[in-house]
Amino acid sequence: MLSARIRIAARLLAVAALAALTAGCFQPMYAERTDGTPGLREKLMGIEIPPVDKPNASREARVGVEVRNALAFKLYGTATGMPPTHRLVLRFSAGRSSLIVDPSTALPTTETYSLDAQYNLIDLATNKSVMTGSTFSRVSYDMPGSYQRFSRNRALRDAEDRAANEIAENINTRLASFFTAGT
């Protein structure tokens, strides 16, 4: 009985010792640095996002603005950013496909909106690409009544906005990972 208690106490002591050793290694990602180096928030605020190159007044131009605005809010918060150190060039393509078609009317009742994005992070000091990547989003939406064209347009617009926010979140996560780990 006594040896079982000693073994449990030894195990707890070993766990506490390991926890104490690794506690100094942990640093929150968004914490402010005390050594004078810029933190992650400052690095992300130094990213310039130029407008996406799409034809004016097109549906893709609106989605490009939505992606850019969502990404800017995730990078800068409510601030406007700092003097740029990097430029993030975005390209994307969008598409729609019908998932379910009503057999009596031959009109779609459920569609999927797809958004595929490629991004390139360029260091402005050297004008060289430091990171490239791609991400995608697939969002399905229902059309309440196939003959209601305004509700169909609104459902598509909501799907575009959800896909744009998902793309912005994916890119923000990848950028935070790059600036934290350097890879």
Q: 55: which residues sit within 8 A by CB, 6+ positions away? A: 61
Confidence band, pLDDT 50/70/90 cuts, at residue 26:
low
pLDDT score, position 169: 96
pLDDT score, position 166: 97
The Cα–Cα gap between 37 and 42 comes to 10
Q: What is the mean pLDDT of residues 139-166?
A: 86
The Cα–Cα gap between 156 and 180 comes to 36
Taking the alpha carbons of 35, 37, 39, 41 in that order, is the dihedral positive or negative? Answer: positive
Helix (H, G, I), strand (E, B) or coil at 48: strand
Domains delineated in the chain: 40-181 (3.30.160.150)
Q: Of residues 135 and 55, which shows the higher confidence score?
A: 135
pLDDT score, position 30: 62
Confidence band, pLDDT 50/70/90 cuts, at residue 81:
low
Residue whose C-alpha is closest to residue 66's, from 77, 51, 44, 76: 51
pLDDT score, position 24: 63
Residue whose C-alpha is closest to residue 113's, from 70, 62, 64, 162: 162
Confidence band, pLDDT 50/70/90 cuts, at residue 94:
very high
Residue whose C-alpha is closest to residue 138's, from 171, 116, 107: 116
Residue 166, Cβ neighbours under 10 Å: how many?
19
